[in-house]
Structure 1
Amino acid sequence: MSKHKDQEENELIEENNNQENSVKESESTENMSDNKQELTPEEKLAQEKDKFIRLFAEFDNYKKRTTKERLDQIKYSNKDMVEALLPVLDDFDRAIKELEKDDKSADALEGIKLIYNKLFNTLKEKGVSIIEVNPGDDFNIDLHEAITQIPAPDQNLKDKIVDVVQQGYLLHDKVIRYAKVVVGK
């Protein structure tokens, strides 16, 4: 019998809870409908129009961003190939400097220069350019990489480039290899 009584009490408690919940739901529905009734049709229209304009602007920005990303991806798609060819250009530069020291190798020097110019002009057509660096230029962290600092031989070269160790290159407007320089301190 006690089990039956407990079960009845539990059912009564559940019924009471259900009634309270339904009363709360009806009150919240009335509050919502009161809030909705407060808005005039013009205000609703203005809200919906504002939502539409914001959504349209967000979509337009998305289209512009993806288009720019796609163009950048195409523009810099050959970056890896160009980076792989930069050591070849360095080797050509070293070979030209060595051949210029020897008067007997004028023909070889001319041939090497022709091949170097052909390779460099091909890369130039693809958007590669040299970062121009000369001793005495200001050190620019966006274009140069300081590999060491030495005492400046002249007071004018303090915090300026003293020597260029390795040429730097740009692909369109992005640095693909920083110019390695020695800076005076």
Structure 2
Amino acid sequence: MDKGRLQNPDPAQLQRLLRERTADLQRVKAEYDNYRKRVRRDRMAVREIAVANVLRALLPVLDAVDRTCAQEPMTPGLKDITDTLATQLGSLGVEAFGEVGDPFDPACHDAVTHHVRPGTDELICTKILRPGYRLGLQLLRPAHVEVTGPPPPTRNPLGHERAESPPAPVRELRR
């Protein structure tokens, strides 16, 4: 007897088996397509993470070039290095941010110093100590800034008053 062959090939039974096998094949194909898409997405995510990690490692080099440009006269070699670095990082999608006058955004700025100016209603970046960098929508490094604006609120984030309260009594532990 041949394996895989029906003994009584009933047309209705053959149609049912054909539909079942077709449905099985369609499910397997859909699973495989989803798997391919998931692998492609994962590879892209790994690539983006790797690029971001390499770019984060290069940020101190950018800072050193910026400091050198600020302190030294611009020589042709230094200008070439600066221009090439800016062009290459720009082609990868790296953007510097942090300008004097920008509204302070704690999601992308680190306030190093806060100067109080009564009568203002929002914090403004008044000095950029170190620029921040983005890769598309991903923050590579926040900008370090000095801000000027209203005094901090009188309540802390937990909702308790800031007023000094006497320390809680210390109880001795008995052994």
Report the TM-score, using the length of structure 2 for normalisation.
Answer: 0.58
2:103 aligned residue: 138
1:115-134 deviation digits (Å, cap 9, x = unpaired): 11112212222222212x22
Q: Partner letter of residue 128 of structure 1?
A: V
Is 2:91 aligned against 1:91?
Answer: no
C-alpha separation in 1, matches of 2:89 and 2:100:
26
C-alpha separation in 1, matches of 2:111 and 2:89:
26
Q: What are structure 1's unaligned runs of at least 5 residues?
A: 1-48, 50-55, 100-104
Deviates more, 1:65-74 or 1:133-142: 65-74
1:147 aligned residue: 112
2:144 aligned residue: 180
Q: What are structure 2's unaligned runs of at least 5 residues?
A: 1-22, 24-28, 150-175
C-alpha separation in 1, matches of 2:102 and 2:119:
14
C-alpha separation in 1, matches of 2:42 and 2:113:
37
C-alpha separation in 2, matches of 1:140 and 1:63:
39
Q: Percent identity?
A: 30
Q: Partner letter of residue 97 of structure 1?
A: A
User: Quick check: 2:103–2:122 contact (8 Å CA) kept in 1?
Assistant: no
1:164 aligned residue: 128
User: Quick check: 1:157–1:184 contact (8 Å CA) kept in 2?
Assistant: no
Count of residues in correspondence between the two structures: 130
Map 1:21-36 onto structure 2 (within 5 A): none
Instruction: Quote the offset at 1:158 in angstroms.
Output: 4.5
Structure richer in helix, relative to its length? 1
Instruction: Quote the offset at 1:139 in angstroms.
Output: 1.1
Instruction: Quote the offset at 1:86 in angstroms.
Output: 0.8
2:159 aligned residue: none
C-alpha separation in 2, matches of 1:141 and 1:61:
39
Map 1:7-86 onto structure 2 (within 5 A): 64-86=37-59
1:56-103 deviation digits (Å, cap 9, x = unpaired): 99987776555333212123322222112111111111111122xxxx
1:112 aligned residue: 78
Going from structure 1 to structure 2, the CA distance change for 1:121 and 1:157 (only over 3 Å counts) comes to farther
Instruction: Quote the offset at 1:168 in angstroms.
Output: 0.6
Instruction: Quote the offset at 1:178 in angstroms.
Output: 0.7
C-alpha separation in 2, matches of 1:155 and 1:63:
58
3-state secondary structure, aligned to 1:170: strand
User: Quick check: 1:76–1:171 contact (8 Å CA) kept in 2?
Assistant: no
